[in-house]
Amino acid sequence: MSDLISVKNYNFTYAGSNKPALIDINFNVKKGEIVVIAGPSGCGKSTLLRSLIGLIPHMYAGKSSGSVIVDGLDVSQTPISELAKRIGFVFQNPENQIFMFSVERDIAFGLENLQLPRDEIQNRVIWACELLGIIDLMKRAPYELSDGQKQRVALAGVIAMKPSILILDEPTSLLDPYTAQELINLVKKLHDELGITILIVEHRLDLLLNIASRIVIMNEGKIVLDGKLDEVLTKKEAMLIGVGIPTIVRLQNLLKEGGLDLGRISLTVVELANKLNVILRDNI
């Protein structure tokens, strides 16, 4: 698999600040990966995202060094409009990117900016709505929708552009647990059906255990841990940083401290239950 994102020796300090926001970032993402980016508030996650989608350096001034290459393009030398064809970005609050009078017009907005033929725009809007299960919302006004529906509309507007990379910034923060799980399932569906590469900044890591291939943990502007979830989330550094360790991982850590080492961490309840059943059966 080739690297779609390559960040090398990257540093960034905002204009007017003496403290670097990002320090010596080295970060590669391969085609088809689902990568979680986690860490406490102020650790540099948002700055990293801005650097990937071109808001830095094109809209946020500051001092930088190193390189950020996305889908073969040097971000510092590429207009945001060109990057937007390759990278889809979904904000934490969908109302930041939904502003037209109807769902249909909102999803078509980015396509119209690309000056695509009218027939292709209509076909892409319908395709995205069907893919995300919101075909019945096309004629409705965004203000009539629930938070979960708004998030789907925002996602549809991005997917209609057919990007090779999808970035989501805390997409479940405004959603109840059930709707949040529905959204994550939908993200997995997009990955499986479109082969799209996905980066998710998220605090509720329990939602992502079954879909993410890798987790990157940041702290104080640096990447401090990077690897498979079952390896990274059991490290003491992850716990000390304050990342929200999922309950199923914390339970196995406690069992290990108590003398019951189950080996590789299980990331699903079913897998953990099967391990415990084997142990109970063998000791009866």
| pLDDT tens track for 142-181 | 889 999 999 999 999 999 999 999 999 999 988 999 999 9
pLDDT in tens, 242-251: 788 899 998 9
Token pair listed for 63 = 């001092």
Percent of the chain with pLDDT over 70: 99
Average pLDDT over residues 184-198: 94
Domain spans in the chain, listed from the N-terminal domain onward? 1-86+163-244, 100-161, 246-284
Q: Is the pLDDT of residue 2 over 80?
A: no
Q: Is the pLDDT of residue 231 over 80?
A: yes
Average pLDDT over residues 71-91: 93
Name the DSSP letter for residue 220.
T
> Which one-letter amino acid corresponds to residue 190?
L
- Rounded Cα distance, 217 and 229, in Å: 10
Q: Is the pLDDT of residue 99 over 90?
A: no
User: Which pLDDT band, with edges at 50, 70 and 90, does 284 fall under?
Assistant: low
- Per-residue pLDDT, 22: 97
- Rounded Cα distance, 84 and 96, in Å: 16
CA 94 and chain centroid, separation: 14
Secondary structure class of 91 (helix, strand, coil): coil
Mean of all residue pLDDT scores within the chain:
92
Q: What is the pTM of this model?
A: 0.90
Alpha-helix runs per DSSP H in the chain: 45-53, 55-58, 80-83, 103-113, 118-131, 147-159, 177-194, 229-232, 236-241, 247-257, 269-282
DSSP 133-147: T-GGGTTS-GGGS-H
Tokens 């395709």, located at residue = 127
Q: Is the pLDDT of residue 1 over 80?
A: no
Average pLDDT over residues 259-263: 86
1-86+163-244: CATH number: 3.40.50.300
